[in-house]
Amino acid sequence: MKAPKTHAIYNPEYECMSRDAMTALQTERLRQVVRHEYDHVPIYRARMDAKGVRPEDIRTLDDLRHLPFTEKTDLRDQFPFGLFAVPKKDIVRIQGSSGTTGKPIVAGYTQHDVDVWAEMAARALTAAGCTAEDIVQVSYGYGLFTGGLGLHQGASLIGAMTVPMSSGNTQRQIMMLKELGATMLCCTPSYAIYIGETAREMGLDPHTDLKLKAGCFGAEPWTEEMRMRLEQLLDFDACDIYGLTEIAGPGVSFECLEKNGMHVNEDHVIPEIIDPVTEEPLPYGSSGELVFTTITKQGMPMLRYRTHDICRLDASPCACGRTTVRMGRITGRTDDMLIIRGVNVFPSQIESVLVSVKGAAPHYLLVVDREHSTDSLEVQVEIDESGFSDTVADLEHIRNEIKDKIKSVVGISAKITLVNPHTIPRSEGKAKRVIDKRKLV
Ligand code: DLL
């Protein structure tokens, strides 16, 4: 049941600021955060010194380009507390996601950071039509992943009835949607499609049996075709929402019901688009790599964090009245990170598992597919010459060890196919490690 389009705004003072006022606010906040990072985080001080940049050199937003970048590998190398800019006792929350090897990356939040993030999520939910009258079923995973807790905090701040379902157990999800009369659903878009398809298979008619009016869907790339399918399956409005652990979870940017790009919470983060090769900033409208600087975070502020997500920024006016710049859909990545069932997966993590398993060779191919709206991962791995002569029982043991380790290091189940030595094609250049057969529709 689609609700009438609303243009309610959670915090118009900031979301509808004039460009001049926003620039002044961002500049002031940027100067403070740069000074704070320089004084409290040794790697930022070292990098700024190496570039010959002092905090007082940052006077305008154009000066951002003089600051050093931050990479996911920095979070891994400084794991767990090296990037904290406040004493550990001031950190009240840890969230995390996968890093480029088995080691996770973590982000620390002060109470202020948690409150800011909750407001960002509340802004996103409000933009999708949520009010205190609503019942919000949160079907993102709860835990270190920011999806569940992020939307939960946002919905609670609005005063909506919040249902912390977490992900999984789809029939039960549907029973709760129906029995509680949830009006909003939040989960990954692929899971939402699966919920919609399962509800149909269970004989439910979303128009009469469910009360859903809208939802916030993100954490993985999706397309306009997927939106159309999802909206048709569940008979509601599906809005895109973006975020990342390193900056803040869901709510860094979000779509309003105009569905024409995601409004960036610019009073808290400054977005840039850069050319991933030259690392030079690109003007609005160009497609390139998205980079964020946080300007209100205390626990672990980030200067010029390279997301490796590719998109465009659009500063044209939006009919909703918000004046914040909008991000287009994420159209790809500049690195090899895959998102499989909402989990960030780097081929190097799988490789780190394979080298630790006796009898497995580090020659592998990841085959990613999507069956019935659910992602699947097959890891084809060569057994090494020594493993090859082994018995069937030994091969089974190798397969199980790889499967268990991948589950514990990467966090997802994979099908393991052992193949004969020298059968995975070798490449003279960059090895081709991934075949992604998923069509996003
Ligand atoms: O995925 C936070 C989140 C939770 C966002 C729930 C939206 C909803 P991470 O696990 O750190 O955080 O993964 C961040 O996921 O760099 C993108 O590559 C991808 N991503 C997140 N949102 C979107 C989106 C959460 N709307 C990484 N569209 C990011 C495309 C997205 N990709």
Biggest CA–CA distance in the chain, Å, is 72
116 lines ligand 1 (CB under 6 A): no
d(CA 251, CA 49): 33
Atom of ligand 1 nearest to the CA of 249: 2
What's the whole-number mean pLDDT along residues 227-246? 97
At the top level of CATH, the class of 12-27+58-334 is alpha beta
What confidence category does residue 440 fall into, taking pLDDT thresholds of 50, 70 and 90? Answer: low
How confident is the model over 315-363, as pLDDT tens digits?
999 999 999 999 999 998 999 899 998 889 988 889 889 989 999 988 8
pTM of the model: 0.92
Residue 78 is classified by DSSP as T
How do 305-311 and 332-333 pair as beta strands? antiparallel
Asked whether the beta carbons of 289 and 278 are under 8 A apart, the reply is no
β-pair partners for 273: 290
242 lines ligand 1 (CB under 6 A): yes
146 lines ligand 1 (CB under 6 A): yes
Q: Which of 244, 333, 343 to mutate to test the pocket of ligand 1 (most atoms within 8 A of CB)?
A: 244
Residue 26 is classified by DSSP as H
Tell me how far the alpha carbon of residue 242 lies from the centroid of ligand 1, in angstroms.
Answer: 5
97 lines ligand 1 (CB under 6 A): yes
How confident is the model over 150-163, as pLDDT tens digits?
999 999 999 999 99
d(CA 432, CA 212): 43
Average pLDDT, rounded, for the chain = 94
Atom of ligand 1 nearest to the CA of 262: 26
What confidence category does residue 441 fall into, taking pLDDT thresholds of 50, 70 and 90? Answer: very low
- Cα–Cα distances (Å) from 274 to 65, 70, 241, 305, in that order, read 10, 13, 22, 11
Question: Within 10 A of 272 (CB to CB), how many other CB atoms are there?
Answer: 18
Q: Give yes or no for residue 30 having a pLDDT over 50.
A: yes
140 lines ligand 1 (CB under 6 A): yes
Question: Which residues 6+ apart lie within 8 Å of 302 measured at CB?
Answer: 70, 246, 247, 292, 293, 294
Among protein residues, the one whose CA lies closest to atom 6 of ligand 1: 147
Atom of ligand 1 nearest to the CA of 308: 16
How confident is the model over 44-98, as pLDDT tens digits?
999 999 999 999 999 999 999 999 999 999 999 999 999 999 999 999 999 998 7
CATH 3.40.50.12780 domain range(s) in the chain: 12-27+58-334
249 lines ligand 1 (CB under 6 A): yes
Asked whether the beta carbons of 256 and 23 are under 8 A apart, the reply is no
CATH 3.30.300.30 domain range(s) in the chain: 340-436
Q: Which of 22-26, 116-120, 253-257, 351-355 has the lowest mean pLDDT?
A: 351-355
Atom of ligand 1 nearest to the CA of 329: 28
147 lines ligand 1 (CB under 6 A): yes
Question: Which residues 6+ apart lie within 8 Å of 53 measured at CB?
Answer: 66, 67, 68
How confident is the model over 274-291, as pLDDT tens digits?
999 999 999 999 999 999
Pure H helices in 265-391: 347-354, 385-388
- Cα–Cα distances (Å) from 208 to 162, 200, 212, 256, 304, in that order, read 22, 12, 10, 25, 48
Q: Which of 105, 220, 412 to mutate to test the pocket of ligand 1 (most atoms within 8 A of CB)?
A: 220
At the top level of CATH, the class of 340-436 is alpha beta
